Amino acid sequence: MVRKATRPLVFLFTLLALLVFSGCRSSNRIPWPAATERTYRGFRVVEEPGLSPQTVQDTLDRAADWRTEIEAAFFPAAAGHTIGLVIYATAQSYRSNAHFHLDTLAHYERAENRIHITLKAPSGTWRHELAHALLEQVRANSPYWLHEGLAFLVMESDLRGSLACSSRPVVRLPAMLYPGLSALRAREQLNTTAIFDADQQTIYGSEALLVSAYFTLFLWKRQLLGDTLRRYQQEPGSSFDMLMVGSNLTARAALIADFEAWVRATDPAAAVPGC
């Protein structure tokens, strides 16, 4: 049986797959054997031969600035870590190397610690993949829901400001998520708890991705995100969804109930101050 909401959600997830995070199939997949890797402003860079050096330089400088912003807000422990970048000239050359089922614009390859991306990918795409890479620097093998929630949160947000909450940056989710939220709200159940254990297939093949993004925004709104992230980075072995409620399952259930009430009532395009 096909539910009414299935069709718009399928469309949504096709869009979201443009930003996929890859956690398996490790291999060193630089497609230009003659290209040499160089280091620049915290990145190990390999680029497709023939690209304009000036355009590459400008893009790397912008990427370094975005990284600084995201790192300062959420991942200070990633400072000094080097992140790999494989830069493709065109979407076509990228796709010839990225073996996904759906067309993609970029991905972070966890096993290589490399972002694969086209030179002219939009800023939101760069920021999304940088968030994956930075989270992986500070806590390897973090859960998929946290990876995607943070990656969507940083795409179009202004994170400059202080996480001490006195000077509050404002975050918002990208517009591509708004129709999905409307469809999701028509459901009787949101199954928020299921996101915490969702594997790669579940995250990308279902609404768990959307729930993860809005749940992360909710944590930000409740001023739980920054502080929990800091402790999550300081305490190896801790579980994020337990840390955020002091390991109290009753408190976690109450937080989720609050989230589900909020997500049904909130404007999908809401911009939220928080920390």
Query: Which residues sit at the interface with Zn ion, rule CB under 5 A?
Result: 19, 21, 151
In whole angstroms, what is the distance from residue 168 CA to residue 211 CA? 24
Q: Which is nearer to Zn ion, 147 or 221 (CB)?
A: 147
Q: Which is nearer to Zn ion, 126 or 260 (CB)?
A: 126
**H-run or E-run covering 124:** helix 123-138
Q: Which is nearer to Zn ion, 156 or 260 (CB)?
A: 156
Q: In whole angstroms, how close is the CB of 143 to Zn ion at the nearest point?
A: 13
Q: In whole angstroms, how close is the CB of 191 to Zn ion at the nearest point?
A: 20
Q: In whole angstroms, how close is the CB of 132 to Zn ion at the nearest point?
A: 6
Q: In whole angstroms, how close is the CB of 152 to Zn ion at the nearest point?
A: 7
Q: Which is nearer to Zn ion, 151 or 190 (CB)?
A: 151
Q: Which residue is nearest to Zn ion (CB)?
A: 21
Q: Which is nearer to Zn ion, 110 or 252 (CB)?
A: 110
In whole angstroms, what is the distance from residue 271 CA to residue 267 CA? 9
- Which tokens sit at 173? 């989710």
By DSSP bridging, strand 272-273 and strand 170-171 are antiparallel
In whole angstroms, what is the distance from residue 241 CA to residue 238 CA? 9
Q: In whole angstroms, how close is the CB of 3 to Zn ion at the nearest point?
A: 25
Q: Mind giving me the DSSP string for 163-209? A: TTSSS--EE---GGGHHHHHHHHTSS---GGGGGG--HHHHHHSTHH
